[in-house]
Structures are given as structure tokens and as C-alpha cells.
């Protein structure tokens, strides 16, 4: 039985990857952070009581800022594979907490690689680094491949660039099986609520059920290559099953704008929108509605506006990946389209919104966090 250690197991990707590895018969260990509220909602369904004999799922308290903790966990677990998914992963937030982002995302990666070296696991432990299309930032060529030059545009991307190169460096210097998955945006119903796709599907669902009135967004012209997290974690595992470590771009090869994602989500919720105005004055008005699906929405309602608060100091306008290498060398093909993913997310968020609406209709005080 193989043993895997996942940092960021409580996040979107960590939860899907843990499911996949358990299915494949792995013993899965994950690092969770101490927090004042439970933060394991995404993995609670695969939690196994540690008192059960032969339990294959274990969580350890830890943090990527704490070297001694990482060394101790690594020593205890003796992993065959480490998946470093833990990060302060929000690009906009990285402008607010740049030093912390560098500590976790850049130095955290170094700390894990050093732990492998310190324990003499160079030949035993394979290492996956969650690299990102944000490395391309101000894009130098379209579409982006493994050889496209980097030009990061945020403290997050700069920190991830350090992590990318330190993984390459430890591969070249110490022969560690370390590789970078340069993943383009990937989403799911488990996506954090403040990333744009989930923010959109959740707000549209809430609006359709009368829980929210208006969705406020930043740059709606931004273009992204959006895939489904389930497809992408499969590729993370595949990258560690090769004889030699290599870096791969993981993407769908198709892009749409934030505005198009709003249109898709609204359509799923039975709402047709018309966009008017430009820049900070842009709005979207309801032009037709299926009232069985969206009982709280009326024709003429303005349900999307721009709030400059969501503009970033430096923006990444367009990202489009070329996954040819992953397809040719590993046989990886994404199975879920952006339309299917959007439908899954809207359905999930509509279900949640209906629960809230039901509580509200019975006099419960329902407040829904938004950003």
C-alpha cells in the first residue's frame, strides 16, 4: 500500500485528491491547520474514525510556516508521495498579505523539500508542486505551454514562481522526484466562495431564490481557461506515476470571459441577461426569466453591477493553456466541459439557496456571507 501526504487537504483540490487516492488504495495523510471553527467540511465525508482498525485516512495538525512540524509529520508518515497543495491561494488577497503569502507559498515549498532532504528521503519520496498559470501573468505567447516565459503579476504569482524553481532546483541538485503541475483555473461546487466562478454561481442561485439582490464583480473582461478540479487532480496523481519527473501544463485549451461565465450561470438558473454600459458602469439586466426556476427574479431587475473594489493592482487579462504535452505523454484528457461544470455548480448552489429560503420562510434569521 502506498502512502501519500497532502498539504492543503481541506481545500478544493485536496479533498478531490484524497478521494481519488483512497479509491486507489492509498493510505492518505493530510495536514490541516488549527482554526477556531471546524475547517474540514470538504473531507468530512471521507473521514475515518482513527479508532477503527486499518483506517487509511489520517489528519495531522500543521502549517507550512512551521519547519519542525513538517519534518516531524514527514518522519512519522514516511510518504511515498507528497502533494503540496497548501497555499494562500487567493490572488487578490495576496496583495493584502504579501509577506504571509510568500512565507506559505514560496518558503513552505522549500520547507517540505528540505524535510525530504533532511530525512534522507530523496530516493523514496516523490513530490508534486501545485504550480499555476498565474506564473505567465502578462502573457508572452498564446496559448501558453511548458516553455512559455513567466511574467508573474501578483505577490501570489511571484511566491509560486519561487516554489516552481525550487522544485526544479531540488530535482536537479539532489535527484528528488519533484515536478510542477502548471494548472490553469479549475473549479467545482467545492471551490472557495470568493473565487469568481463560485462567487457567481452562488450569487445567481441566491438571487434566484430571493436570498441576495445583486452580484458585484470586478473585471468582467478577464479571460480564463476553466476546467473541473476532478479532472485536474487525476493529472496530479498521473504526474507522480512516471519514471522521470517532468513539468506539465494542465488546461482545457479553451477560454471564456468572466462575463460569459455569468451568462452561462444565469441561463442555468433560468435567467437571461442583457449587459449594458462599460467599465465601472457596466450592469446586467434580466430580459427573461423562467419563474419556476427563479421565483424571486423579475424582468427588468438589475442583478449584476461592477464594484471597483474587486479590481486588482495588476490584472492578468487572459490565460489559455495548451495541454498537448499532458495529452501526448500521459494520455490525459479533461472529461468535464466548462458548461457541464457550471451546471453542476449552479445546481449545487441552488440547492443550498433553497434550503436558506425555506429557513427564511419559517422565520429564521438567515444571513448569507458575500464578498
Residues identified as active-site = 132, 134, 156
From CA 89, how far away is CA 86, in angstroms rounded?
Answer: 8
Choices 86-94, 97-105, 171-179, 264-272; region in contact with ligand GDR by CB under 6 A? 86-94
196 binds ligand GDR (CB under 6 A): yes
Pairing verdict, β 227-228 and 283-289: unpaired
Smallest gap, in angstroms, from Cβ of residue 351 to ligand NDP?
20
318 binds ligand GDR (CB under 6 A): no
273 binds, among ligand NDP, ligand GDR, none (CB under 5 to 8 A by kind): none
Residue closer to ligand NDP (CB basis): 133 or 265? 133
228 binds ligand GDR (CB under 6 A): no
Smallest gap, in angstroms, from Cβ of residue 347 to ligand NDP?
20
**Helices and strands of the chain, counted as H and E runs:** 11, 15
310 binds ligand GDR (CB under 6 A): yes
Choices 26-34, 43-51, 189-197, 276-284; region in contact with ligand GDR by CB under 6 A? 189-197
What's the helix, strand, coil split of the chain in %, to 5?
Answer: 40, 20, 40
CB-closest chain residue to ligand NDP: 11
Choices 30-38, 211-219, 295-303, 329-337; region in contact with ligand GDR by CB under 6 A? 211-219
Q: Which helix (H) or strand (E) holds 289?
A: strand 283-289
From CA 52, how far away is CA 71, in angstroms rounded?
Answer: 26
Residue closer to ligand GDR (CB basis): 158 or 258? 258
Cβ-proximal residues to 209 (8 Å cutoff; 6+ apart), any chain = 294, 295, 296, 350, 353, 354, 356, 357
Residue closer to ligand GDR (CB basis): 51 or 309? 309
Tell me, rounded to whole angstroms, the distance of Cα 214 from its chain centroid.
Answer: 25
From CA 279, how far away is CA 166, in angstroms rounded?
Answer: 39
315 binds ligand GDR (CB under 6 A): yes
Smallest gap, in angstroms, from Cβ of residue 163 to ligand GDR?
11
Q: Which residues of this protein are in contact with ligand NDP, per CB under 6 A?
A: 7-8, 10-14, 31, 33, 35, 39, 63-65, 85-89, 104, 130, 132, 183, 185-186, 192
Residue 114, φ and ψ in degrees, nearest 5: -65, -35
342 binds ligand GDR (CB under 6 A): no
Residue 139: CA count within 13 A, CB half-sphere: 17
C-alpha cell at 146: 511548458
In what side-by-side order are the strands of the sheet with 3-7? 57-61, 27-32, 3-7, 81-84, 126-132, 178-183, 248-250
C-alpha cell at 65: 510556516
194 binds, among ligand GDR, ligand NDP, none (CB under 5 to 8 A by kind): ligand GDR
95 binds ligand GDR (CB under 6 A): no
Quick one: which of 92, 320, 352, 317 has its CA closest to 201?
A: 352
From CA 292, how far away is CA 314, in angstroms rounded?
Answer: 42
206 binds ligand GDR (CB under 6 A): no
Q: Which of 133, 180, 208, 265 binds ligand GDR (CB under 6 A)?
A: 133
Cβ-proximal residues to 367 (8 Å cutoff; 6+ apart), any chain = none
From CA 154, how far away is CA 92, in angstroms rounded?
Answer: 8
91 binds ligand GDR (CB under 6 A): yes
Smallest gap, in angstroms, from Cβ of residue 12 to ligand NDP?
4
Residue closer to ligand GDR (CB basis): 146 or 315? 315
Smallest gap, in angstroms, from Cβ of residue 292 to ligand GDR?
29
Smallest gap, in angstroms, from Cβ of residue 184 to ligand GDR?
6
Smallest gap, in angstroms, from Cβ of residue 154 to ligand NDP?
11
**Site residues, ligand GDR (CB under 6 A):** 89, 91-92, 132-134, 184-185, 194-196, 199, 217-219, 222, 224, 258, 310, 312, 315-316
Amino acid at each position: 500500500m502506498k502512502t501519500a501526504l497532502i498539504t492543503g487537504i481541506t481545500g478544493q483540490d485536496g479533498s478531490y485528491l484524497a478521494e481519488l487516492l483512497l479509491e486507489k488504495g492509498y493510505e492518505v495523510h493530510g495536514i490541516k491547520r488549527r482554526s477556531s471553527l471546524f475547517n474540514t467540511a470538504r473531507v468530512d465525508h471521507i473521514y475515518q474514525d482513527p479508532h477503527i482498525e486499518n483506517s487509511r485516512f489520517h489528519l495531522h495538525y500543521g502549517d507550512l510556516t512551521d519547519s519542525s512540524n513538517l519534518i516531524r509529520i514527514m518522519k512519522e508518515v514516511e510518504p511515498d508521495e507528497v502533494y503540496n497543495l497548501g497555499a494562500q491561494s487567493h490572488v487578490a488577497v495576496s496583495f493584502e498579505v504579501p509577506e504571509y503569502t510568500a512565507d506559505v507559498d514560496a518558503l513552505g515549498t522549500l520547507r517540505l523539500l528540505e524535510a525530504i532532504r533532511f530525512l534522507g528521503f530523496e530516493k523514496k519520496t516523490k513530490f508534486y508542486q501545485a504550480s499555476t498559470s498565474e506564473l505567465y501573468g502578462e502573457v508572452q505567447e498564446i496559448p501558453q505551454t511548458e516553455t512559455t516565459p513567466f511574467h508573474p503579476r501578483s505577490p501570489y504569482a511571484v511566491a509560486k514562481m519561487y516554489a516552481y524553481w525550487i522544485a526544479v532546483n531540488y530535482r536537479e541538485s539532489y535527484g528528488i522526484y519533484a515536478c510542477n503541475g502548471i494548472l490553469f483555473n479549475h473549479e467545482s461546487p467545492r471551490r472557495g466562495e470568493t473565487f469568481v466562478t463560485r462567487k457567481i454561481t452562488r450569487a445567481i442561485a441566491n438571487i434566484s431564490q430571493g436570498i441576495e439582490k445583486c452580484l458585484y464583480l470586478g473585471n468582467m473582461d478577464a479571460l480564463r481557461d476553466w476546467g473541473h478540479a476532478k479532472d485536474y487532480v487525476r493529472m496530479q496523481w498521473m504526474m507522480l506515476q512516471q519514471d522521470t519527473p517532468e513539468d506539465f501544463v494542465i488546461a482545457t485549451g479553451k477560454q471564456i470571459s468572466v462575463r460569459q461565465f455569468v451568462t452561462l450561470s444565469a441561463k442555468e438558473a433560468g435567467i437571461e441577461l442583457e449587459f449594458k454600459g462599460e467599465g465601472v458602469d457596466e450592469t446586467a439586466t434580466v430580459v427573461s426569466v423562467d419563474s419556476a426556476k427563479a421565483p424571486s427574479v423579475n424582468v427588468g431587475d438589475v442583478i449584476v453591477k461592477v464594484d471597483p473594489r474587486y479590481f486588482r493592482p495588476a490584472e492578468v487579462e487572459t490565460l489559455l493553456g495548451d495541454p498537448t504535452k499532458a495529452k501526448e505523454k500521459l494520455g490525459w484528457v479533461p472529461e468535464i466541459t466548462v458548461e457541464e461544470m457550471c451546471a453542476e455548480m449552479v445546481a449545487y448552489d441552488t440547492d443550498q439557496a433553497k434550503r436558506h429560503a425555506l429557513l427564511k420562510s419559517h422565520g429564521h434569521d438567515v444571513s448569507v456571507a458575500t464578498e
